[in-house]
Amino acid sequence: MFDKLFSDFSFTIAKRALDGLTLRRDVLAQNVANVDTPEYKAKEVNFEATLQQAMRGERRMSMATTHAGHQAASASDPSDLYQAGLRKGGSTRADGNNVDIDQELLQMAETGVRYQALTSVVSKKLNLLKTISQAR
């Protein structure tokens, strides 16, 4: 019974979005930590297009296991859908580093707001389901 409840499409998409936002936060934190590291290149995570493809059914939500000997990806590991790549554009300083601390902090704040909004929506849905189940 609980499997059907939590395998709901909206919960699955919300979990994947939260996974993507968590990975983005981690990558942004890595960029900030390396702001003074010579030759460090800023990274970014663009998961929205992949998530939209999954929502339209154009992409599977998990990796396919094509052989019995293959190890399945962890359900909590977003790396099967999202990857961090080098940020395009920006200016490179004399030491070869292209991290713009203002841009990193702005993106961290935006990521935090998106994460809070999404967790609020999920929480409200769970509270609604709780209310419905208690009314019976």
Count structural domains, the chain: 1
End-to-end Cα separation, the chain, in angstroms: 16
How confident is residue 80, by pLDDT bands cut at 50, 70 and 90?
Answer: low
Give the residue, 9 or 64, on which the prediction is more confident: 9
Instruction: Evaluate whether residue 43 is within a structural domain.
Output: yes
Residue 63, pLDDT score: 45
* Residue-wise pLDDT tens digits, 104-127: 999 999 999 999 999 999 999 889
Query: Residue 4: is its pLDDT beyond 90?
Result: no
Between CA 120 and CA 116 the distance in angstroms is: 6
Range of the domain at 47: 2-63+76-135
Q: What is the mean pLDDT of residues 57-77?
A: 53
Q: Beta strands 43-45 and 84-86: pairing type?
A: antiparallel
Radius of gyration of the chain (CA): 19
Residue 69: inside a domain, yes or no? no
Nearest CA among 49, 61, 53 for reference residue 12: 61
Q: Above 70 in pLDDT, residue 71?
A: no
Average pLDDT, the chain: 82
Look at residue 71 and tell me if it is in a domain.
no
Give a yes or no: residue 95 inside a domain: yes
User: Does the pLDDT of residue 87 top 80, yes or no?
Assistant: yes
